[in-house]
Chain A
Amino acid sequence: MIEVREVTKRFGTKTAVEDLSFTVEPGKVTGFLGPNGAGKSTTMRIILGLDRPQSGSATINGMPYSDLRDPLRTVGALLEAKSTHTGRSARNHLLFLAQTQGLPASRVGEMLELVGLAEVAGKRAGGFSLGMSQRLGIAAALLGDPQVLLLDEPVNGLDPEGVLWIRNLMKHLAGQGRTILVSSHLMNEMAVTADHLIVIGKGRLIADSSTADVIERGTEKSVRVLTPDADKLTELITSDGGKIASAGPAPAADSDGAQLLTVTGMKARRIGELAASSSVVLYELTPQLASLEEAFMELTSGSLEFSVHREGPVHGSGPLLAQKEAAN
């Protein structure tokens, strides 16, 4: 179990993490989600005792990391930044780590086998591809058979095969009752991997609940309505508590005076009932489900480190979002 309590970390005048508290439970994969620069890596480094917070505390199984004896036997970590000497072989990298923990040298071979690096064990780590480096990092993290794992952006730069491998590995390890905290800035990746999500933005906690809940909460659903009797329907909806997020002429193909409304705060079913009760004709009534990415953007909007000016209402067409949509 990992517990972070009211942690604040400043670098000079810049606040990286502010009054952050959360708990990571064993037996499941907990996703640590936030845009770049949200403070994910800093938080992980604080948990691991590499950075010292100005206030607050982080503990692993009730103890600060620095009080753990042979910490690699309790906690395994994969940090985003590389931590291998380019001139040292994969085997020697793992060997010196094993020696610090009093682990048998045979453990090194087992780990190299596990991550599929046995054949290149004697090669300089500097010549490794990104995927191989990540595998070496995973091997180092698993070296001490730890109960707690912290993985900072483990799938960054990996090919689909590697992504799948890490995803399965994490689920497998969580299934053994281990505590797993994995950070990412990719919502979609987390949605398929994590059971629980901790979302932060600008160093503050935004959400801490099950993955399904976060998506549900972030997905501010809207309903697309096409009607020739927009004025009357608008009145019906607003008097019943709904909101018209936008209104405008329908796309050319369906035009004959029809209007396109985007309704929020009301389910499609209720809009249909209202329209029927007053005999308003509807050409179209479509619930708009926000994508996971949009849910994430929604949650973290205003907390982006390099803030992107977003125009329009709920799911506006800010440049970042537009790019994402184009990419999908």
Chain B
Amino acid sequence: MTTATPATDATPLRVVRARASVSRFAGLARAEWTKIRSVRSTVWTLLLFVVITVGLTALLTTLVVHSPNDPRAAERDARILADPVGFILGAGIGLGQLTICVLGVLLITTEYSTGVIRASLLAVPKRLPMLMAKLTVFAGLMLVLAAIVSFGSFFVGSVLLHSMTAVSLSDHNVTRAVIGAGLYLTVLGVFSLAIGLLIRHTAGGIATVIGVVLVLPILTSLLPGRWGAHIDAYLPEQAGSKIFGDRPEAAQLLSAWEGFGVFCLWTLVLLVLGAWLLQRRDA
């Protein structure tokens, strides 16, 4: 396998040296796409996201429809009937969103753990364009996949739930909820990436995101009084998920879009902080 005589002079570059900045960014975006598709873990995580979310929606709605009638079930059914689209979307996304949390973190932390970040930053020493390209590609990919998952879950769920109640996209707020779920998942991916960018370690990053998304809401929902309700409502996951389903027990402090706006704001703040640190820290 040894090439005895190096032959670099046989392969000089015949490429135009100057490039427009538009094509430069397109090149960076293509590079980020190559990074995502060329690693098995990212591809598997994305597949898992689709399968888990749609699968769980189907499973949970089926269980609800076919569960025996007991007093506890009646109470639950009443809640479902009050917000059927919220139930359908929440059923799969509740767990499925964790794959997106993991993926968002992994996308940046594996660069650090494997050392690819050095290659990446040598190629793009200004650093910020690399991050922008990564965000663009990941958000674009998420938008498409999350839309598929969101609409897929809704159709599967509404068909299965049909014997209980009829939900259609033309119903009040249903389209908003279904599209909103896709947007929520996309922003959640970016939110997780921002946390990965700040923490730079896979385990720490995943633990932090899961903590914020799953654990914090449980703790803050126990906080007493008006302040507790405000803290609870303005948490990233609590605020963001309002766009596709209400938790009836939570205080109604934010409208669906306001909540989503708060979630976007959280994400933006973390991103700006992460970008600032990316520029400053030694790689």
Enumerate chain A interface residues (CB-CB to B < 8 A).
Answer: 45, 48-52, 65-66, 68-73, 75, 77, 79, 81-89, 92-93, 95-97, 99-104, 107, 110, 113-117, 119, 140, 142, 144-145, 161-162, 165, 168-169, 172-173, 176
Contact = CB atoms under 8 A, between A and B. Distances in A.
A71 to B, nearest CB: 6
A65 B224 CA distance: 55
24 contacts: A49-B125, A50-B122, A50-B282, A72-B122, A73-B13, A83-B115, A84-B119, A85-B35, A85-B39, A95-B38, A96-B34, A99-B31, A101-B27, A103-B13, A103-B15, A104-B15, A107-B11, A107-B13, A113-B3, A114-B8, A114-B11, A140-B119, A165-B3, A168-B5
A50 B123 contact: no
Nearest to A70: B19
Interface of B: 1-9, 11-13, 15, 17, 19, 23-24, 27-28, 30-32, 34-35, 38-41, 110-111, 114-126, 130, 280, 282-283
Contact of A99 (B3, B13, B27, B114): B27
Contacts of A107: 11, 13
A50 B278 CA distance: 11
B8 A145 contact: yes
Nearest to B29: A99
Nearest to B30: A99
A183 to B, nearest CB: 16
B8 A100 contact: no
A96 B126 contact: no
Contacts of A117: 1
A66 B125 contact: yes
Nearest to B21: A69
B18 to A, nearest CB: 8
B42 to A, nearest CB: 9
Given A96-B38, A103-B13, A83 B3 contact: no
Q: Is the interface of B mostly helix, strand, loop or mixed?
A: helix
Contacts of B120: 100
A21 B27 CA distance: 36
Contacts of B121: 49-50
A85 B2 contact: no
A79 B119 CA distance: 9
A69 B124 CA distance: 9
Contacts of A85: 35, 39, 110-111, 114, 116
Nearest to A104: B15
Given A103-B13, A103-B15, A114 B3 contact: yes
A115 to B, nearest CB: 7
B115 A82 contact: yes
Contact of B119 (A83, A142, A161): A83
Given A66-B126, A79-B118, A107-B13, A173 B30 contact: no
A123 B181 CA distance: 38
Contacts of A66: 125-126
A74 to B, nearest CB: 10
B38 A92 contact: yes
A144 B14 CA distance: 11
Given A84-B114, A85-B39, A103-B15, A172 B6 contact: yes
B13 A102 contact: no
Nearest to B32: A96
A119 B3 CA distance: 13
Nearest to B121: A50
A81 B115 contact: yes
A71 B127 CA distance: 12
Contacts of B19: 69-70, 102
Contacts of B39: 85, 87-88
B112 to A, nearest CB: 11
Contacts of A144: 13
A12 to B, nearest CB: 12
A127 to B, nearest CB: 13
B44 to A, nearest CB: 11
A102 B14 CA distance: 12
B282 A100 contact: no
Contacts of A119: 1
B110 A97 contact: no
A161 B2 CA distance: 8
A86 to B, nearest CB: 6
Contact of A52 (B9, B12, B119, B282): B282
Given A73-B17, A99-B31, A103-B15, A172 B119 contact: no
Given A70-B19, A96-B31, A51 B3 contact: no
A150 to B, nearest CB: 10
A97 B31 CA distance: 7
Given A115-B3, A176-B8, A145 B13 contact: yes
Contacts of A102: 15, 19, 23-24, 27
Contacts of B13: 73, 103, 107, 144-145
A113 B8 CA distance: 10
Nearest to B130: A100
A68 B125 CA distance: 8
A95 B37 CA distance: 12
Count chain B CB atoms within 10 A of each CB in A83, A89, A165 and give the residue with the most. A83
B34 A92 contact: yes
A132 B162 CA distance: 59
Nearest to B124: A100
Contacts of A103: 13, 15
B211 to A, nearest CB: 27
